[in-house]
Structure 1
Amino acid sequence: MKCINCGTDNKLKDRTANQGRCIKCNHPFAFEPTSMSKVKITDPFFAKAIADISANHTLFFTPKQLLYLLDNRIKSKSTSIFGLLFIYLFFNVWAPGFIGGFASFLFGANSFLTVSILFNICFVLYLYTKSTSKKTHIKPRQEYARCLQIIGGIILAVGIVASLIIYNSFSLFVIAVILGMLSIYWGTRQLGQTKFAQEFSFSQNDFQGWLNRWQKINGSILKILPFPREENTPATVNPDVTAYSFDRLVVCDSANIAQLLIANNFHFENNCAILSITGYPQSIFDTTMQMLRRNPDLKVYAVHDCNPRGISLVHNLRSNDSWFLNSEIAIIDIGLTPSQIIATKRGMFIQSSLDSAQVAKQLPQEIRQTLSAEELAWLESGKFVELESFSPQRLIKVLQKGIAGSRNLESDDSNLLLVGDTGNDMYVVQSFG
């Protein structure tokens, strides 16, 4: 493992002999992959993840964004179909020959065939389990699914020939057909699913431990954001500033995303105000809302997680007198929406929970009528996607694209879909980036 301080490659015996420090510069290593149980990470791996999530240390990011990136890179190790097929073919010969050879002394010559059948059943079940595992990345899952299809074809071809010509056994014929067709069916079904739910390959407690240890050894990460603090004391604002207003407002469903955009100067670069539905930043919330209400041509952009709470954001803006009750301003829903996730070909980190499913089933009718049957079914299945699963760079680009595309709401090129009645219009961006 290379030292991130001087670049010296330290072998395990070197790290052990020097008490976990670099043999050249004596800088301590934050991680020792050989002593980690399930997930193994190295210092260069963690350092590169920090550099990449921050766009080479130029953008602020949240801890959860780093968590998502680490999980994606740990999971995305490629799985070779040729490697799986080699293992399958090798052990399909070795297992009946070696294990079946010993078993034949006790159970007779049919032991070779029995071991072969059992091995094929176990291998197909192993591939199916891996292809459906929520802790496995999408691409490896697809590789396992393709391997299921190929091995299903091999089982069908070889099994049918062997049952008819070599063994003349109807029972073997039935087993080969059922196992082969089942393997092909499972593989085909899994390949057709690109929007399945996932789970993290490590716990958030593990991640927090890694983060704490990294910062203890290497110092604070300059671009990582702390948890947003509530500052209830109103900030002093120059009266000359409050005389003006904004043409645009970005409303987030969480203080984390609002803090992320503000920290990265999105409001300066795009001449807009940024607030969260929770009132962040509290110190200037009331003043900012007073300024915004002066502009009858204000455009509001909603950005939120794709979950029942996030989907309710636009409704809350329309129905809450602290926001825009009885107002005719245009509200543009940037996303995330279920329709954007269903339509996209990109792999998104989709999670699911019983709590989310229960809340989705209790959504008010005013919100349900703005969603299609497919979107409602997606939400009521418990699935959800968090904005923090995207990098800061991508979130900023998507939001900038949504603002740029809404300059002319009536244009065919705006990539917006009108939802609602005249005088209470809501526009939904059809694609998330």
Structure 2
Amino acid sequence: MKCINCGTDNKLKERTANQGRCLKCNHPFAFEPTSMSKVKITDPMFAKAIADISANQTLFFTPKQLLYLLDNRIKPKSASLFGLLFIYLFFNIWVPGFIGGFASLLFGASSFLIVSILFNICFVLYLYTKSLSKKIHIKLRQEYARCLQIIGGIILAVGIYAALIIYNSFSLFVIVVLLGMLSIYFGTRQLRQTIFPQEFLFSQNDFQGWLNRWQQINGSILKILPSPNQQNRLAAINPDVTAYSFDRLVVCDSASIAQLLIANNFHFENNCAILSITGYPQSIFDTTMQMLRRNPDLKVYAVHDCNPQGISLVHHLRTNASWFLHSEIVIIDIGLMPRQIIATKRGMFIQSSLQSAQAAKQLPEEVRQSLSAEELTWLESGKFVELESFSPQRIIKVLQKGIAGSRDLESGDSSLLLVGDAGNDMYVVQSFG
């Protein structure tokens, strides 16, 4: 493993002999991959993840964004299809020959055939289970599904020949056809899926431990954001400033995303106010809202997680007296929306939970009417996507694109979809990047 301080490559024996320090510069290593059971983290891997999520130390990011990136990096993404088939063919001969040989001493010559059938059933179930695993990368799950299809074909071709020509057994023929067709069916069904729910390969507690260990050894990470402080004291604001207003407001469903945008100076570069639905930043929230309500031409941009709470953000803005009740301002929903995820069909970390499914079934009727039947089905199945699964760079880029595309709504910009009634307009960005 290379030392991130001097670049020297230290072998395990050298790291062990030097108490986990670099042989050349004596800098401690934060991780020892050989002693990690579930996942293997190295110092260069962690350093590269920090550099990539921060766009080479130019953007602030949240700890959870780093967690998502690390999970994507650690998960194996591919397997050799030929390797899986070789393992199948090798053990399909070895297992019946070895185990069946011992069993035949007790149960007779039919043991070879029984062991062969059991092995094929077990191998098909193994591949199917892997293709369903939420802790495996989507690409690898698809490789297992393709292997299921091919093995199903092998079972049909070889098994039918053996059943009819060698054993002349109708019962064996039925078993072979059922197993082969099921294997092909399972593989095909998995390959046809476009949305794969996922889970983290490691726990958030593990990740927090790695983060603490890294900062103890290498110092604080420059661009990582702390938890948003909702208890900051009220700031003294010059009365002359309150006479000014903004033409644009970005409302986030979480303080973390609002903090991220503010820390990266999105409000300065795009001349807009940034607030969260939870009242962040608390020190200037009330004053900012007073300024915003004075502008009849205000445009509001909503950005949120794709979950029942996030989907309800625009409805909350429309119906809450603390926001824009009885106002005719234009609201543009940047996302995330289920339709954006369904249309993208790639690269999104989709999770699922029973709590999200229950919350989706309790959405207000006005919110349900703004969603398609496919979107409602998606939400009610418990699926959800967090904004923090995207990099700061992508969130900023999508938000900038949404603002730019809404400057002249009357031009019929194809990137915006009108939802709602006249005087109560809501526009939805059709693609999240």
Return the alpha-carbon distance in structure 2 between the equivalents of residues 414 and 270 of structure 1: 22
Return the alpha-carbon distance in structure 1 between the equivalents of residues 94 and 13 of structure 2: 36
| Corresponding residue of 1:398 | 398
Return the alpha-carbon distance in structure 2 between the equivalents of residues 99 and 419 of structure 1: 65
CA-to-aligned-CA distance 1:227-274 (integer Å, 9 cap, x gap): 000245221223332222111110000000000000011111111110
Return the alpha-carbon distance in structure 2 between the equivalents of residues 8 and 78 of structure 1: 30
Return the alpha-carbon distance in structure 2 between the equivalents of residues 39 and 429 of structure 1: 38
Offset of 1:19 from its aligned partner? Answer: 1.0
CA-to-aligned-CA distance 1:395-420 (integer Å, 9 cap, x gap): 01110111111111122334111111
Return the alpha-carbon distance in structure 2 between the equivalents of residues 407 and 223 of structure 1: 32
Return the alpha-carbon distance in structure 2 between the equivalents of residues 49 and 186 of structure 1: 36
Return the alpha-carbon distance in structure 2 between the equivalents of residues 341 and 408 of structure 1: 26
| Corresponding residue of 2:95 | 95
Offset of 1:284 from its aligned partner? Answer: 0.7
| Corresponding residue of 1:168 | 168
Matches within 5 A, 1:14-413: 14-413=14-413
Return the alpha-carbon distance in structure 2 between the equivalents of residues 264 and 80 of structure 1: 42
> Which letter maps to 1:175?
I
Q: If the length of structure 2 is used for normalisation, what is the TM-score? A: 0.98
> Which letter maps to 2:95?
A
- What are the ranges of 5 or more consecutive residues in structure 1 without an aligned counterpart? none
Q: If the length of structure 1 is used for normalisation, what is the TM-score? A: 0.98
Offset of 1:348 from its aligned partner? Answer: 1.1
Return the alpha-carbon distance in structure 2 between the equivalents of residues 53 and 243 of structure 1: 38
Return the alpha-carbon distance in structure 2 between the equivalents of residues 7 and 226 of structure 1: 30
Contact 1:408 1:414 in 2 (8 A): no
Offset of 1:333 from its aligned partner? Answer: 0.3
Return the alpha-carbon distance in structure 2 between the equivalents of residues 190 and 231 of structure 1: 48
Count of residue pairs brought into register by the alignment: 433
CA-to-aligned-CA distance 1:268-318 (integer Å, 9 cap, x gap): 111111000111001011111121122111100000001111011001111
Contact 1:302 1:313 in 2 (8 A): yes
Return the alpha-carbon distance in structure 1 between the equivalents of residues 150 and 341 of structure 2: 30
Return the alpha-carbon distance in structure 2 between the equivalents of residues 125 and 327 of structure 1: 58
CA-to-aligned-CA distance 1:337-363 (integer Å, 9 cap, x gap): 111111112231111111111111111
Contact 2:406 2:413 in 1 (8 A): no
Return the alpha-carbon distance in structure 1 between the equivalents of residues 251 and 333 of structure 2: 10
Report SS of the residue matched to 1:417: strand
Q: Mean alpha-carbon deviation: is it higher for 209-218 or for 162-171?
A: 162-171
Structural RMSD (CA): 1.2
Return the alpha-carbon distance in structure 2 between the equivalents of residues 231 and 102 of structure 1: 72
Q: Mean alpha-carbon deviation: is it higher for 105-114 or for 21-30?
A: 105-114
